[in-house]
Structure 1
Amino acid sequence: MWIKWTAIIGVLIIVSFGIATTYGSYRWQLDTAELRAKLKSGQQIMKLNIYDPKEIEGLPAPVQRFFQTVLKDGQPIVAAVKLSQQGQFNLNELEDKWNPFTATQLVITQPLGFDWDARIQMAAGLNAFVHDTYLLGEGNLHASLLGLFTLANMPNTPELNQGELLRFFAEALWYPTALLPSQGVRWEAIDDNSARANLTDGATTVSGVFQFNADGTISTFRAEVRYRDKLTAMPWGGSFRDYTVRDGMLIPLEGEVGWEYPEGIRLYFKGKITEISYEFAA
């Protein structure tokens, strides 16, 4: 008899877990749809809709080479981006413990913002759901087990806003028209292979150094300061590769991101874009 009841209890646990998983995923999808509707509803009509090479005149030499390499004359300005990713995410700060993930992301360039919706596999059938968001000048990081049990919820603070704006800035290689001076980016010369870029959105200003390859593409981005929390700030950055033409723009499909410790960089993200589509300024 005990074998029978053990089997019944096991089935009930499996069924309950399946129901919880389905419900959590459904509820999370509703949250994603709401966030992205807010992003789209705030989208502004862009004053400039075509890239004019004249606007890069006077920029540092490696920056001019970059735009000449990744954009064609008359390239439409990117208004929004939808992309899918897959890769590995390291949730452990002390050692390498990589978990596979998949994600979708919506990016809006005016006013700038994004929502990254990820599933990080913690174990077979057990996912952490993550929203990493920058919306109307405010950042938010929300992680949940199965979409039901909150693991982390970091709301809008000046430090988080700075970190999320830095993420937008570094990822602009996927939508390179967002790095043009007409889109608010201010470039400063460093040397023949690097330049500093600055971006302000509302009350938040960020700055980072882009390093350029010999072919004109960007190899790395580094920010001297990104806040991990309200008290801890560290150097942060990423590297990019596998450049491919998408809708007339040369963009990297693969990248790695990490924090810079005194002993070296500890990566926490390794990802590849599997799909990307653009909405251009009308």
Structure 2
Amino acid sequence: GQEYIRFVNMKAEGKFRRPLQKQWAKTTTHQYFITKPLGMIFDASMKQNPVMWFDVRDKYYRKKGGMFVNLLSGFNVLNESDIKELNNTTFLRCIGEAVMFPTFLLPSKYIKWEPIDKNSAKAIVTDGNNKGIYTFYFNDVGEIVKYESDDRYDRIDGKLQRVGSVAVRSDYKNIDGIKVPTKFLITRILPDGTHEEFWKGEITSIHYNILKK
């Protein structure tokens, strides 16, 4: 069987936009994950135009989330950590990204599965006080093609509000013997029910460190 993935080093590029904004920002990301205990560092550079860019770092470790945003690499405009809504959201982001290190999606203290039908299942996910429910959808060969949740929060009009998210994954490739999707389109569902695409692109590199049993 597949050995358990312990560390992940992943890069992506695409376009991103904040809630209620029409303008997309060219975005490159570099993400690191550990799986025991679950942790994440997400570094992103978002370029609105040639003279305006933001550097973003999101993190999750030992059940706590953090978000830091700098304008023009030097002016801090957001610095938040260990907020209930942020902790929960960054935890759920880790679960969503686990399609890229799929051994983490095996049943564990973090995730319990309940079947819905032959092409979908419910994942009940927990890490301390952080919890949520994902619905995963599979194609006929067992690949995850979509997943959705309504247990996340995003900053809208200056305050954290509960939102939904739908992620579509495609273009599966075999990387280091692991079959993973390399293209993504993520949509947020605003409190009024509006669907708003906000992050789309592709994985440009991914490397694994396998835990030897």
Per the normalisation by structure 2, the TM-score is 0.91
The 2-side partners of 1:96 and 1:242 are apart by: 27
Matched, 1:257 2:186: yes
Is 1:85 the counterpart of 2:9 in the alignment?
A: no
**How does 1:81-160 map onto structure 2 within 5 Å?**
81-91=8-18, 93-160=19-86
Instruction: Write out per-residue CA displacement over residues 17-64 of structure 1, whole angstroms, 9 at most, x where no aligned residue.
Output: xxxxxxxxxxxxxxxxxxxxxxxxxxxxxxxxxxxxxxxxxxxxxxxx
What residue ranges of structure 2 are gaps of 5+ in the alignment? none
Secondary structure of the structure 1 residue equivalent to 2:140: coil
Higher helix share goes to which structure? 1
Counterpart selection for 1:185 from 86, 89, 111: 111
Verify the 8 A CA contact 2:24 2:48 in the aligned structure 1.
no
Q: TM-score, normalised by structure 1?
A: 0.70
Q: Could you give the per-residue CA deviations for residues 86-116 of structure 1, whole angstroms, max 9, x where no partner exists?
A: 111113x334311111111110011001001
Larger mean Cα displacement after TM superposition, 137-146 or 123-132: 123-132
Match of 1:239 in 2: 168
Matched, 1:161 2:90: no
Larger Rg: 1
Consecutive unaligned residues in structure 1, runs of 5 or more:
1-73
Q: Which amino acid aligns with 1:278?
A: Y
> For residues 235 and 263 of structure 1, what CA distance do their matches in structure 2 show?
9
| Structure 2 CA distance for aligned equivalents of residues 183 and 281 of structure 1 | 18
Give the distance between the partners of 2:188 and 2:167, measured in 1 at CA.
Answer: 9
1:225 to partner: Cα distance: 2.3
Structure 2 counterpart of 1:272, one-letter code: E
Kindly indicate whether the alpha-carbon contact (under 8 Å) linking 1:165 and 1:206 is maintained by their aligned counterparts in 2: no
The runs of 4+ residues in structure 1 deviating greater than 3 Å are 261-264
Q: State how far apart, in whole Å, the 2-side matches of 1:141 and 1:217 are.
A: 31
How much identity, in percent, do the aligned residues show? 33
Distance 2:78 2:34 in 1: 25
Q: Comparing both structures, which one devotes a greater share of its residues to strand?
A: 2
Partner of 2:137: 211
Q: 1:129 to 1:95 in 2, by over 3 A?
A: closer
What residue number does 1:248 align with? Answer: 177
Asked whether the equivalents of residues 208 and 221 of structure 1 are also in contact (C-alpha less than 8 Å), the reply is yes
Residue-pair matches, total: 208
Distance across 2 between alignment mates of 1:123 and 1:231: 27
